Structure 1
Amino acid sequence: MSEQNTSCAAFQRVAAIDPGAVAVRSIGGTRQLTWSQYAAQVRDVAAGLAALGIGRGDTVASMMANRVEFYPLEVGAQHTGATSFTVYNTLSPEQLHYVFTNAGNRVVICEAQYVDRIRASGVPMETIVCVDNPVPGTLSVAQLVSLGRSDFDFDATWQAITPDDIVTLCYTSGTTGNPKGVEISHANLGFECRTYASVMPVEFGDRNVSYLPTAHMADRVMNLYLQLYYGTQITVVPDRADLPAALADVHPTIWGAVPRVWEKLKAAVEFSVATETDPARKAALTWALEAAGRKAAAQLAGAPLDDTQAAEWARADDLVLSKLRAKLGLDQLKWALSGAAPIPPETLGFFFGLGIPISEVWGMSELTCVASVSPPAEARLGTVGKLLPGLEAKIADDGEYLVRGPLVMREYRQEPGKTGDALDADGWLYTGDIITEDADGYLRVVDRKKELIINSGGKNMSPANIENTIKAATPLIGALATIGDRRPYNTALIVIDAESAAPYAAAHSLGDDSVAALAAHPELIAEIARGVAVGNAKLSRVEQIKRFTILPAFWEPGGDEITLTMKLRRKPIAEKYAKEIDRMYSAEVEDGVHEPAAGPA
C-alpha cells in the first residue's frame, strides 16, 4: 500500500499506540494534548481546510511561535494532501512577498500579531486563520473547524496521498540572494526518520524540547517529523530565554541544539563555577571539571583515560557531575546532537567530559536535514560521523562532497536553473561543502566551498575552522568573521556575545554595559586579545589572526550579518564593514584595531 510511506500513515499508526499519553505540552504541562485529542483535532482541521478547497497539491503556510496549537494545525493540513510549511517570524513584508509568491499558498495560519505584516506583503490570501486573538477579516481555529462538512471522507483523503507528494517546503537561509524553496516528499521524509532512528534510537514516549523556529528543518525533523513516525512527546518553548527552564522541567531523553546554544550552556556552567562563593562547593566543582577536562582531552586525542584518571572521573561523576547534569536537565539523555553549523571540537569535548552523550551531525535542507551522524558511543569528536545507511557519496576533484540517494530533494520550487546547478542528471547533489573522509568512513567538514579563503600567497584556509578555534577560547566572543581572501594575513571582525556582556560588566564593576562602552573597554579588549592568542596557538602560522576589531554592535539572526539559521553572510559583512577591514591592513596599527596578546601566538 503506497500510503504506508507517508507522514499521515505514520501519524495514524502512532496515535493509536497509547491514546491517553501526552503528545504535546507546554513547560510545566499547563497546556497539553493527548494522542487521542491530537488525532481528533487533526481530523477536524483537515475537514475545515478541505471545506476551503485545500487538497493535494495545494500549499498552506504557518507563521507562529513554538506553541501547542501548531501541531494539530500542521498535521491536519498534511492530511488534506497539502504541502504545509512555516515561514520565519522575523521576515519582512518584502521577504514574505517573495516566499508566498514562490510557494503559491492561498492560506496562512498565524498569530494575530503577524496579520498586518502578511497583508502588507501584497500577496492576496484567500484565508488567514488566527490561532490566538480575533482579527477582523480572519477566521479563528474554531471557525475553521466549524466549516468541516459531515460528508468529508477523512480516511480516503489521507490514504490518497502518495510517497511522491510534497510534504513540506524548507526555505534555505539565503546567504546569497533570495532563499530557495526546497521541495521534500513524503518518501524523503520517511527515509530520513527511519534511517536516522536506525542509528540514533527513537521510541514512543521519548521526550524532546522544541525551541528552534519551526521554519528550521532541524526543528521540523527532530520534533514534528520524528514525532509523527515514532510518537515522541514534545514540550514547546515559545521564547528561547525559557529553554533552561524547559530542560529542567522535561529532562529530555533526546535533544539537539545549534552550536550557539551549546556554547552558551558551556559558558553558563563555567560562569557558575567562577562565581561560586562557597569555598568547599567551588573546590568540588573545580576538581570535577578538571576530571571532566581530562576525559574530554583524551577523547579528542582518540586515546583512552588511564585507570587512575578513569577512576577519578567516575568518582567526580558520582559526587558532582551527575548532579550537575540533573540540574541542567540533561541527565536522562540517550543522545544529544549539535548541528546546523560548525562547532568547536573543544565544546563537544566539554559536554562529553560532563558525561553527556553528544554527537555532531551534518546535513542540509536539500538532504531532508541529517545525512551523517554516529551514535555517541562511536562518535569521534571533530567529525560529523558517518553517512547514513542507504546513501552514496563521492568527492569531486576540487574536494566538494556529492551525495546521491533517497534523501535528495525533489527540486527547488520554480527554480529549474538553480535545481540544475545543484542536481546533475545522474542524481548527484552538489552539496557545496568541502568534506574529507577517513579510512573508517568518518566525515570531517572543512568549510563551504565558496567560503574558503585563498590569501595573497595562494594558501587555502577554512574561515569556519579559524573562527571556531578562536571562539572556543573565550565565551565573550559572540561571533567573528575571518577576513583574509586575497590579503597578506588574516584579520577578524569580532562581536561581543550579547548574553555574556552584562554579567561580565557586573563582575568587573564596569558600570556601563552598553555594547559601545564594552567594545572600547581596555579590560574586555585585553580578555579578547588573550582569547585570540590562545586560539592562534592552535592554528598554523598562516591561519592566525594578526589583528582584530571589536564592533560596537550585536549581530542579530536575520540581520545584515547573520542568517536566521546562524550562518555568516560573508559578502554583505565584507561590504558593510569595508572601512573597518581596510583599517586592519594599514601599515601602522590604527586606533580601535587590536592585536592578540603577546605570548601564546
Structure 2
Amino acid sequence: MAVSTADQLTIVENRARNVGELFFGRVEASGPREAFRYPDADENWISMTWSETGDKVSKIAAGLVDLGIEPEQRVAIASGTRIEWILSDLAVNAAGAATTTVYPTSSTDDVAYILSDSDSRVVFAEDDEQVAKLREKRSELPSVSRVVVYDGEADGDWVITLDDLIERGEKYLLDHPDVVRERIAGTEPESLATLIYTSGTTGRPKGVRLVHDCWTFEGAAVAAPGSLSESDLEYRWLPMAHSFGKVLLTAQLTIGYPCAVDGRVPKIVDNLAVVRPTFMGAAPRIFEKAYGRVVGMMVEEGGAKLKLFRWAEKVGLQVSRLQRAGKPIPVGLKIQHRIADKLVFSKIRDRFGGRVRFFISGAAALSTEIAEWFHAAGVLVMEGYGLTETSAGAFVNDPDDFKIGTVGRAFPGTEAKIAADGEVMIKGPNVMRGYHNLEGESASALTEDGWLATGDIGEFDADGFLRITDRKKDLFKTSGGKYVAPSHVEGTFKAVCPLASQMVVHGNDRNFCSALITLDPDAAEAWAESHGMAGASYAEIAASDQMQAEMAGYVDELNSRLNRWETIKKWALLDHDLSIESGEITPSMKVKRRVVEERNADLLNSFYVEA
C-alpha cells in the first residue's frame, strides 16, 4: 500500500539518533525473529535471531572498548561480505567508534594508505592473506595496536582471533555491564560512523566522512514508502565496504526483514535457488551477466527453441510497455502472454529462486534495454542513484511507481536540482560531512549552504523522475562538435551483444568514435564449445576469425540504434577481460576509463591513423 508523502516525511523525521540505537531497538522489537542466515564451511545455512545478533555485537563492542577504542576512533574492516563483517561493523558503531572500510582486493600500498590516513587503531582482517598485507606495512602503521582475524591464526601478540575478542568482551561486560548502552547514549547524530574510501577511477582514494545521521536517515528513507516489510527476505552479496551494502544493512535494521549473507560472487546463482529471496540489491554487471547467459544459451540452441524465445520476448515487451503506460492489454495478447510466461518467463524467474518481487540496481548505470527485458520476463529491476558522498542512496524507483530508464524520485527529506551546466546537485541529511583530511577537496564538492555537486549530468521529467545522462567528466565532444555520452552507447551494446563483458567508447576530440570491447569469459567459453574451439584460451577465442565476424555483426546492430555521430567506426577485442585485480575496474564494478585508455593508447591511436 502506497504511503503518502507526508507520512513518509514523518517516518524520516522520527528516525533513531544513531546506528547503535537503531540496531538495539530492532533487537528489542524482533528478538526471536530471524535476523541473518549465512553458510558454514559445509555450505549449510545457519540462522541467527536478532537476540543472538545483539548478544554477539555487545560482546564484540565491549571487546573493542577493552582494547582501548574511544568514541569516534577508527576501526577498519578488511574483508569480503560475510556475517562477521556485519557483526563487526555494528559493534564498532555500538562502541561509539567509526568503521573504516577496506576492500579485500585493495593493494598492500592502498591498504597502508587508507589505514594511515584514517588513523585506524584496530583492524578486522578476513584471513591470513589480509593479515600478510598488514604485516608487510606494519612499520608504517604505528596507530594499529591490534589485528582481529576471522579465518586465520593468532600470534600471541599483534594478531588475535574474533573468538579471542568476543571472550575479552564477555569478561569486560561482567565488570562493566552498561558499557555498550553508555557508549550508544553518548553517540550523537553528527558523530562519525563510517569512513569509506572511494576507490575512484583516478588518483588516491578519498575518505568520505559519513555520520550516524547519514545512515539512520538512509534506513528510514528506504523504509518510508512501505515497499518492504518484515516478511521480505534479502539476499546480500554486495561488498559491505561499498556504501550500497551499508544502506541495505540500515534499511534492514529499520524494517526488520531477515537477510541471507554471502559475498562470494560465483555462488550468487546457486544461492538464489536455495535462499529464494524476495529482493536483492546488485550492480548492473550482475544483471548484464544474467541477461547475457540466458540470451546466449538461446542463441546457441537455435532452431525452434530460439524462435519460441524470440516470440516470447516480443510478447513480453508488448505487455510490459502497455502495463507501464497504464493501457489495457488486449485479450488475445493476454492469452499469448500466459503461454509465453509458462514456457519461457517462469523458467527465467526460477533461476532467481522464483520469489523475487524486485531487484534494486545501483552503483552504475543499467541499460534501459536490459531493464525492459527483465520486466518483460516478469522481473522488476528498479534503478536507484547516489554516490558514496550521499551515503549511497539519493534517488530510487518504487515497485508501485517506477519508470524504466530513470533512477526514480529523490528520497523523502532531501532536495535535488539541476545546475546551469546540467550537473545534478543534492542536499540532505545523507550528504557527507566532507572528505577526511582534505579540506580543499571538500570545499570544491560542497557549497557553503550544503549542496553536493555530484559530477553527474541529468534531467528531471515532469513527474520528478531523474534520468542520468552520464558522468560529467566522461562526456566528450568529437572534433565535429557533437557531444557523446559513452555510457549510453556502452549500455546499448551490452543489451545487443550477449557475449560482451565491457565496452569502452573513445572519441574525445577525434573525428569519429571507436571502442575497446571485452568478452564475458563464461559466455566466450560456451560460445567456443559450440563453434569447434572447445578448450581454447580467452585470447585465442577473441582473436579468432569467427569471433571477429560475430562481433562485427553485433557492432553493426549497435550502430543501427545510434545517432550517426555516436556510431562506432573502428573497434578491437582485447585479449583479456577487465578486472578488479588488473586495476581496470573498481571494486564496485565501475570501469576505470582513463586507465583502460592509457594502457591501450597505441591501439586507440592506430584507429585514427590516415590510411
- TM-score between the two structures when normalised by the length of structure 2: 0.91
Residue 266 (str. 1) matches residue 266 (str. 2):
no
Displacement of 1:48 after TM fit?
0.7
Which of residues 123, 128, 150 is equivalent to 2:141? 123
Displacement of 1:463 after TM fit?
0.8
Which of residues 18, 21, 24 is equivalent to 1:12? 24
Residue 328 (str. 1) matches residue 352 (str. 2):
yes
Aligned to 1:595: none
CA distance in 1 between partners of 2:128 and 2:517 (Å): 37
Which of residues 386, 395, 419 is equivalent to 1:372? 395
Aligned to 1:597: none
Which of residues 181, 184, 189 is equivalent to 1:163? 189
Which of residues 272, 276, 280 is equivalent to 1:247? 272
Mapping for residues 91-490 of structure 1, pairs under 5 Å: 91-110=106-125, 111-121=127-137, 122-124=140-142, 125-136=144-155, 137=157, 138-148=159-169, 149=172, 150-152=174-176, 153=178, 154-199=180-225, 201-222=227-248, 224-274=249-299, 287-296=311-320, 305-318=329-342, 320-329=344-353, 331-490=354-513
Aligned to 1:47: 62
Cα gap change, 1:547 to 1:2, in 2 (>3 Å): closer
Residues 314-342 of structure 1 show CA distances to partners (whole Å, capped at 9, x for unaligned) of 3433554234313431x323331111111
CA distance in 1 between partners of 2:593 and 2:30 (Å): 49
- Equivalent residues of 2:18, 2:184 under 8 A apart: no
Provide the secondary structure at the position in 2 that maps to 1:261.
helix
Cα gap change, 1:449 to 1:282, in 2 (>3 Å): closer
CA distance in 2 between partners of 1:446 and 1:68 (Å): 37
- Equivalent residues of 1:299, 1:381 under 8 A apart: no
Aligned to 1:80: 95
Aligned to 2:550: 527
CA distance in 2 between partners of 1:80 and 1:398 (Å): 44
Displacement of 1:488 after TM fit?
0.3
Displacement of 1:551 after TM fit?
1.1
- TM-score between the two structures when normalised by the length of structure 1: 0.92
- Equivalent residues of 2:223, 2:254 under 8 A apart: no
Structure 1: gaps spanning 5 or more residues: 589-601
- Equivalent residues of 2:272, 2:351 under 8 A apart: no
Cα gap change, 1:505 to 1:364, in 2 (>3 Å): same
Provide the secondary structure at the position in 1 that maps to 2:87.
helix
Mapping for residues 575-586 of structure 1, pairs under 5 Å: 575-586=598-609
CA distance in 1 between partners of 2:440 and 2:14 (Å): 31
Structure 2: gaps spanning 5 or more residues: 1-12
Displacement of 1:194 after TM fit?
0.9
- Equivalent residues of 1:360, 1:385 under 8 A apart: yes
- Equivalent residues of 1:447, 1:465 under 8 A apart: yes
Aligned to 2:519: 496
Of 360-369 and 20-29, deviating more is 20-29
Could you say which structure has the greater relative contact order, defined with CA pairs below 8 angstroms and 6 or more residues apart? Answer: 2
Residues 358-402 of structure 1 show CA distances to partners (whole Å, capped at 9, x for unaligned) of 211111111111111121332111111111222112211111111
Residues 211-234 of structure 1 show CA distances to partners (whole Å, capped at 9, x for unaligned) of 122111112212x22222222222
**Root-mean-square deviation over aligned CA pairs:** 2.3
Provide the secondary structure at the position in 2 that maps to 1:350.
helix
- Equivalent residues of 1:7, 1:229 under 8 A apart: no
CA distance in 2 between partners of 1:359 and 1:3 (Å): 25
Provide the secondary structure at the position in 1 that maps to 2:492.
helix
Displacement of 1:2 after TM fit?
10
Residues 439-496 of structure 1 show CA distances to partners (whole Å, capped at 9, x for unaligned) of 1111111111111111111211101111111221102111111110000000001111
Provide the secondary structure at the position in 2 that maps to 1:248.
helix
- Quick one: percent identity of the two aligned structures? 33
Residue 64 (str. 1) matches residue 79 (str. 2):
yes
Displacement of 1:306 after TM fit?
4.0
Residues 133-153 of structure 1 show CA distances to partners (whole Å, capped at 9, x for unaligned) of 223131112221232322222
